[in-house]
Amino acid sequence: MQVFSSRAAFRRGLVGVCLLLATFFAVYASVRQYAPFIVNAEALREWIGQFGAFAPLIFILVQAIQVIVAPVPGQAVALVSGYIFGPLAGTVYSLVGVLLGSTIAFCLAKQFGRPFVEQLLHEDVVTRFDGFVEQVGIPGLLAFVIIPGLPDDAICFLSGLTKWRLRTFLAVISIGRLPAYVVTVYAGGELATGEVSTAVILLGAIIVASVIGYVKQESIRTVIGQFQM
pLDDT digit string (tens) for 34-59? 545 444 545 545 656 676 778 888 77
Q: How far apart are CA 130 and CA 124, in angstroms?
A: 10
pLDDT of residue 4: 46
Please give the backbone phi and psi of residue 195, each rounded to the nearest 5 degrees, phi first. Answer: -85, 70
Length of the chain in terms of residues written: 229
Q: How far apart are CA 202 and CA 212, in angstroms?
A: 16
Least confident among 31-35, 158-162, 192-196, 225-229: 31-35
Give the residue-averaged pLDDT of 71-76.
64
Q: Tell whether the torsion through CA atoms of 46, 47, 50 and 51 is positive or negative.
A: negative
Question: Could you tell me the pLDDT band of residue 33, with boundaries at 50, 70 and 90?
Answer: low
Number of domains in the chain: 1
Please give the backbone phi and psi of residue 189, each rounded to the nearest 5 degrees, phi first. Answer: -65, -35
Q: How far is CA 122 from CA 4, 112, 131, 146, 219, in A?
A: 12, 17, 15, 22, 19
In a domain, 2, yes or no: no
pLDDT digit string (tens) for 155-193? 888 888 888 889 999 999 999 888 988 999 999 888 888
* Structural contact between residues 144 and 155, judged by C-beta atoms closer than 8 angstroms: yes
Give the residue-averaged pLDDT of 125-131.
76
Q: How far is CA 154 from CA 92, 139, 196, 205, in A?
A: 23, 18, 33, 23
Q: How far apart are CA 42 and CA 85, in angstroms?
A: 10
pLDDT of residue 12: 64
Q: How far apart are CA 11 and CA 8, in angstroms?
A: 5
| pLDDT at position 3 over 50 | no
- For residue 121, the enclosing domain spans 7-224
In a domain, 190, yes or no: yes
In a domain, 229, yes or no: no
In a domain, 119, yes or no: yes
Most confident segment among 19-33, 132-146, 181-195: 181-195
In 3D, which of 175, 110, 162, 108 has the Cα closest to residue 133?
162
Q: What is the pTM of this model?
A: 0.71
* Structural contact between residues 83 and 40, judged by C-beta atoms closer than 8 angstroms: no
Least confident among 69-83, 114-128, 178-192: 69-83
* Structural contact between residues 80 and 114, judged by C-beta atoms closer than 8 angstroms: no
State percent of the chain over pLDDT 90: 10
In a domain, 46, yes or no: yes
Instruction: Quote the mean pLDDT of the chain.
Output: 77
In a domain, 16, yes or no: yes
